[in-house]
Amino acid sequence: MVNYLSICYNENIMANTLLIYGSLTGNTEGVAHKIQEMSQARGKEIEVKNALDADLADLTGPYSSFIFASSTWDDGLPQADFADFIERVSASKPNLSGKKVAILGLGDSNYVHFCGATETIEQLFIGEMAGQKIIENLRIDGYPEMEENQTALKNWVDKLVELID
């Protein structure tokens, strides 16, 4: 006999953390899903959403933690889809006080504004919207598949899962 209550409960489990990413080449998207997979293996559910599909309702909804991820382009700017997301939500300036925030960026240290998008994201979601920074920003230099980047990602996620709900 199947336990109906446990089936309903498991189907209705909702992630308390939302990871919003902007990705042009697919690297940031890949890292976002890797974070989701690594977190799930450690017992934490994370919902992953493309910045194209994210809006103000995501920030004002039931999530208690956010992870914002973007690559850096041009002179330290967030990836275009993430920049559009910022534009859509920044005018409303939702209050994120009491919400936990983690930020990661992908970039190339050969450029002057290495992972500059993380600074823009931090200024908005932590500085202006009062989100609670819970961990140092992760900055991935070069390709995410590189061993040192995989190690840095693993170490960051190990710390992160202890800090999110």
pLDDT, averaged across the chain: 91
Instruction: Please check whether residue 133 is in contact with residue 98, taking contact to mean a CB–CB distance below 8 angstroms.
Output: no
Digit-coded pLDDT (tens) for 85-105: 999 999 898 999 999 999 999
CA dist., res. 163 & res. 165, Å (int): 7
pLDDT at 5: 39
**pLDDT tens for residues 11-46?**
445 689 999 999 999 999 999 999 999 999 999 999
What is the value of pTM for the model shown? 0.90
- Domain over 14-163 is classified CATH 3.40.50.360: yes
Q: For residue 47, what pLDDT is reported?
A: 97
